[in-house]
Amino acid sequence: MRDPAWADRGQMLQFDLDDSPRPPACVGLSRMGGVRVTGGACSIWMVVRGHVWVDCKEGRFRLRRGEWMLFERDSNPVLQSSEHGLGLGVLLTTPDLHALEQLSDSVLYPGRGRFASHDRCVALRLWRTAKDGRESEALRPILLHMARAQRDLAERVQLCPGRSRSRKRQVFGRMQRARLYLEGHSDRVVRIGELADMTNFSSWYFSKAFQSLYDESPQALSARLRLERAADLLRSTEMTVSEVAASCGFDNCCSFARAFRARFGTSATRYRASQPRGSGPVGSLSRSTAV
């Protein structure tokens, strides 16, 4: 009999966190298994082995071993494990998050990052405990561990505009969603208007707040992410340089060649020749930052 909280060997499970009774708090997926999550407050995912593909409101992502990602309510993520992948998730309701805030004055934000080796082992142990324990009590340690993993994000909240702490947190949550959207659409140019509409801010307000938070303009981050995606494709696929350029949102090979050389100090062709195939992503994903 299959575990109702585990998607394995191509099985697709769907969890609506607004259903009653509530679905399991801890779920997993492996060996091409898939999970779709709707409703609730948010969901947290970490990759233990291989990689997991994600399709959500913020775009498309490929999470590798050791990475985590947190989605908000309306992200509605669909996750698919690779053939040898293993992903673990925690599905949260609004009361879960309120309990965390009351317990430690901590708030979880949308974003993704990478666990250090030790923190990954701790997260795995806490997930197993939460899966086997009583839900209301067993979830607390893993949520506190996740809040600790986001401590660098929490420190940025003070840079957000707003008179109250709750307003600053609200603004920061919206900015994190916008940053994830840039990551999830590294195959094209993202316009400021799209991000402003997503956050319900004016384009001027959004650009100013984004720059102050991340020390990088939305346009600069978009360009960097597209070039890092291009470098990843050059290493891990047989696509031609022109195909890579087109898949990363560049109108022509000349503009791509100039941008790539400016970023990496060499041509795309020489870069490919100098890199081992199948190596990890170019972008440095820290253990507690969004990108």
220-274 topology per CATH: Arc Repressor Mutant, subunit A (1.10.10)
Edge-first strand order for the sheet with 59-64 is 12-16, 34-38, 78-81, 51-56, 59-64
pLDDT along the chain (291 residues), means of 10: 82 89 89 94 96 97 97 95 97 89 91 95 94 75 95 93 92 96 97 96 96 96 97 95 96 95 97 78 45 34
Contact between 45 and 69 under an 8 Å Cβ cutoff? The reply is: yes
Distance (Å, whole) CA 91 – CA 107: 15
Residue ranges, comma separated, of all CATH 1.10.10.60 domains in the chain are 220-274
Residue ranges, comma separated, of all CATH 2.60.120.280 domains in the chain are 6-149
6-149 topology per CATH: Jelly Rolls (2.60.120)
